[in-house]
Structure 1
Amino acid sequence: MADYTTLILDEREDRVHVALNRPEVRNAIDATMVAELHDVCYRLEREPRILILSGTPATETAKGVFASGADIAQLRERRREEALAGINASIFIRVAQLPLPVIAALDGYALGGGAELAFAADFRIGTPSVKIGNPETNLGITAGAGATWRLKELIGEPLAKEILLAGRVLDADEALAAHLITEVHESADLLAAAHALADRIAAQDPLAVRLTKTVFHAPREAHPVIDTLAQGILFESDAKFTRMDAFLTGRASRTTKGTAT
């Protein structure tokens, strides 16, 4: 992958870890970061791998932060045409539509655009210091990059309205109770936990995971046709026969051992 100025990449055979890297502004999402994330997505669309997104880790002298939001200095200067272009919305949609799952590892602030990037992920895990919310109305704008529709799907309408209309920011316990995040780990253990989750995903058949994600996000009216089409593809895959043969062989072996004892 290319050299980036706002992202740090760690590439592995089955996954890519992307760390947001603008710590001087709490990883505020600017136009350069958006462009670099588009480049990452371009590559992952062509070579599907699991994506882990994280921010700046905590140190002895500074708290961790995922992303404090969109870059307000740039946002201040944007006008109607930039809003209609959906600059941030387009990249978050692209992240959500990546072929294989996306894991957001959240430490500290995940606010505004940072929260919307996290909402685009398939999995969100966090630390005890997580603060997640959408304070856009306090700045005279709306959460226009996905929160107004993704958030109510994730946590339900009443709590989503508290966040979007009344400026409520959830801490780790509240986010966990709302299932907005599914695991809480100390900052030092967060990336290891993200990789452990990626390991569990990587242990599945990649094509089955990819098609399951596609079917899961398909509109209601596409079912059950899309389900049966996906299953038809998988029923002809080599992985199906290999994995089912291994299961049946293992079961026969366990039965034999049980009889012998």
Structure 2
Amino acid sequence: MSYNNILTSFSNGITTITINRPSKLNALNSETIQELHEAFKEADENHDTKIIIITGSGEKAFVAGADISEFANFSVEEGGRLAAEGQAKLFDFVANLSTPVIAAVNGFALGGGLELAMAAHFRVASDNAKLGLPEVSLGVIPGYGGTQRLPQLVGKGRAMEMIMTAGMIDASQALQSGLVNHVATQEELIPLAEKIASKIMRNSPVAISAAISAINAGFEDGVNGFESEISQFGNCFGTEDFTEGTQAFLNKRKPVFPGK
């Protein structure tokens, strides 16, 4: 499928999705959000894709925010609908994918850009990355999950400060706070993400999908994460991957997981 605002590539089990609006610092507009939804959906449904990496084109920005010109004149109802549709179409969609998603944050990740990175299952960042949620400086709050996911990742106090000051933190601060897992140079960023992806791909994709579901359950209101873990754990016993993994262990060989 061809896109206007993103690029996709596939190699060695990894689908890389690159937001490609360099003149706008890869800002998210409605068309880009729709294209990202379609690209993530296609990759997740492709049995050959084991890992998805999301990044931005160029060296300046992952995503520098949302395209403010699209919603500057919205009404209350339109604003609420914008957040609800965006969360369902992209941010919550990505967070709940069964395929692991790594955000390779190259440069600025602000507003909706940081929210997209936080929707990924984990993040690596370039050493020139700047991350923040500046929405209150525009008279609005984060609307694509930022007020929920940032506290989960860095704690309530740090999240309150970041959101209320509308300030940015650098890559080293993001690493220290747990917002990103690793920091690398621009040149080493994608190779690092691919190296981590290769480690993930040694394991059962069925079990990884179950783990994502169980972990996410612990952050959902009204859902008992421990009960979800028990259910997902039990379900694993009925998979071909469980049979292969246990037999490989008992026979002292490397497993070849069928992904079923």
TM over 0.5: yes
- Comparing 160-169 with 229-238, greater Cα deviation is found at 229-238
- Give a deviation string over 1:108-165, Cα, whole Å, max 9, x none: 1000110110110111101110100001111111111111111001000111011111
Instruction: Name the count of aligned residue pairs.
Output: 245
> Which segments of 5 or more consecutive residues in structure 2 lack a partner in the other structure?
254-260
- Comparing 151-160 with 35-44, greater Cα deviation is found at 35-44
2:100 aligned partner, one-letter code? P
- Aligned residue for 2:87? 89
- Aligned residue for 1:55? 56
TM-score, reference length from structure 2: 0.89
1:74 aligned partner, one-letter code? E
CA distance in 2, matches of 1:249, 1:42: 37
2:191 alignment partner, SS class: helix
Q: Answer yes or no: is the 8 Å Cα contact 1:88–1:113 preserved in 2.
A: no
The aligned runs of 1:31-180 (5 Å cut-off) are 31-47=30-46, 49=49, 50-58=51-59, 64-85=60-81, 86=83, 87-90=85-88, 91-180=90-179
The CA deviation at 1:76 is 1.4
- Aligned residue for 2:2? 3
TM-score, reference length from structure 1: 0.88
2:107 aligned partner, one-letter code? G
1:226 aligned partner, one-letter code? S
- Give a deviation string over 1:216-235, Cα, whole Å, max 9, x none: 11147434332222122211
CA distance in 1, matches of 2:74, 2:27: 15
- Larger Rg, first or second structure (1 or 2): 1
Q: Answer yes or no: is the 8 Å Cα contact 2:108–2:130 preserved in 1.
A: yes
CA distance in 2, matches of 1:136, 1:32: 21
> Which segments of 5 or more consecutive residues in structure 1 lack a partner in the other structure?
59-63, 252-261
- Aligned residue for 1:192? 191
1:69 aligned partner, one-letter code? G
Instruction: Quote the sequence identity (%).
Output: 31
- Aligned residue for 2:26? 27
RMSD: 1.7
